[in-house]
Amino acid sequence: MSRKYFGTDGVRGKVGTFPITPDFVMRLGYAAGRVLTRMDHHLVPGTKPLVIIGKDTRISGYMFETALVSGLCAGGVNVRITGPLPTPAIAHVTRAQRAQAGIVISASHNPFDDNGIKFFSAQGTKLPDEVELAIEAELDQPMELVPTEQIGRVKRIDDAAGRYIEFCKSTFPNALDLRGLKIVLDCANGATYHVAPPVFHELGAEVISIGTQPNGLNINLNVGSTHPESLQQAVVEHQADLGIAFDGDGDRVVMADNQGQLLDGDQLLYIIASHRHQRGRLGGGVVGTLMTNLALEHALGKEGIPFQRAKVGDRYVLELLNANEWQLGGENSGHILCLDKHSSGDGIIAALQVLHALRSSGLSLADWAKRLPLYPQVLINVKVAQRIDLDSNTALQAAVTSAEGALKGTGRVLLRASGTEPKIRVMVEGQDRPLVQRLAEEIAAVVQQEAAS
């Protein structure tokens, strides 16, 4: 069955435009509450399911938090709210509190006037497809308040941030510390603003923080992992050893070396994988996505590390990791999953795994980066007003075939629809940058032409 509301990462869109409206979000909370009540067969009679709600720093988050709480309580569910916390923190708190689900109000790396609702299972992973479909089916039913005595209650978890800080620190080896390192942290004016700096400071680093003054409107605004220029500049200005940038909800990370040179998710994934492999602690192979740079696949192959590609989206990386019983995977955007440390992608924990490799090996971030020179990769996002069937569009298929012929087996062409935005993503990679750039622009022009016809 196809989803009506859920995309690859929950329900997301422009604030005030359906379905990101207070009335729909209240109904979504109610629908989720009814589904969870029916699903939870282990409850002691007379008790209610428990749901944890967190959010990032968007101004609309307060409005949607209230709407969700109302819907869930009306559906007979108890709620605990944490206030602003990273998405992976809610996954952790959901597991730690033995809750039946977690909900995050966030649009991740998008601008402040977008928002979204994403769910976690009791295990701290994305909801299974069948549960999302059950919630969508419930949304089509009338909203009927449970009997008054069954209405849920809401309470705040006052120490959620402190619990998460300690959890993150626990994923870094006790025998190591970060003393002597000067680190710039860019928290994107988002959910990590009050938790990331203490994590790295308490492990011994000298921390310089930027993007830690959220006002509800400046999340991801010229800061964070999607706008790393601020991080790169700050690293050079402060003569720091490295920099770390998160996105608005804290599940992505990119890093910069002491010269301000950026390392993306593919390069960070390589550092973690290679370091673990050398120590005999990789636990299988590595999962990337269709967007993973071909250079990573080749580098892992030279070290004898198995590699497989999943569809784009951390939920698909997680599915393939679980199917293979592997531990490590991620995306070039900076979503990195270390399943031996956490059930979901976590920017802070991924950064700590990279720092573990640096401290253990004695190599700098720049040293590690030299081991994986990425192939030129050009990504063009083309906005479209209507859906295009990429597989059956003859003009697009002809453009892709022509580009693949020009690359002569030395690169890749990928055309895909975004799961969260009305865009077609055109990606071309190869060893000849001018050729890659030209081919990507030619295909993007065909996409624009076909979208307008």
Q: What is the rounded distance in angstroms from the CA atom of residue 150 to the CA atom of residue 244?
A: 46
> And the tokens for 334?
């900076």
> Is-contact 36 101, C-beta < 8 A?
yes
Say if residues 374 and 295 touch (Cβ distance below 8 Å).
yes
Q: At what angle do helices 160-170 and 347-361 cross, to 10 degrees?
A: 30
Give the separation between CA 399 and CA 405, rounded to whole angstroms: 10
Q: Terminus-to-terminus CA distance in the chain, angstroms?
A: 29
Q: Is 108 a catalytic residue?
A: yes
Burial annotation 7-29 (CB, 10 A radius, 16+ → b, else e)? bbbbbbbebeeebbbbebbbbbb
The alpha carbon of 406 is separated from its chain's Cα centroid by a whole number of angstroms, namely 34
Residue type, position 182, single letter: K
At 278, give phi and psi (nearest 5°). Answer: -60, -30
Could you tell me which residues come within 8 angstroms of residue 319 by beta carbon, excluding any fewer than 6 positions away?
310
Contact 262, 229 (CB under 8 A): no
Catalytic site residue from 60, 106, 108, 344? 108
Task: Pick the closest to residue 191 from 109, 100, 125 (CA basis).
Answer: 109
CA distance 421 to 142: 29
CB-based burial of residue 47 (10 Å sphere; 0-12 exposed, 13-18 middle, 19+ buried)? Answer: exposed
What residues act catalytically? 108
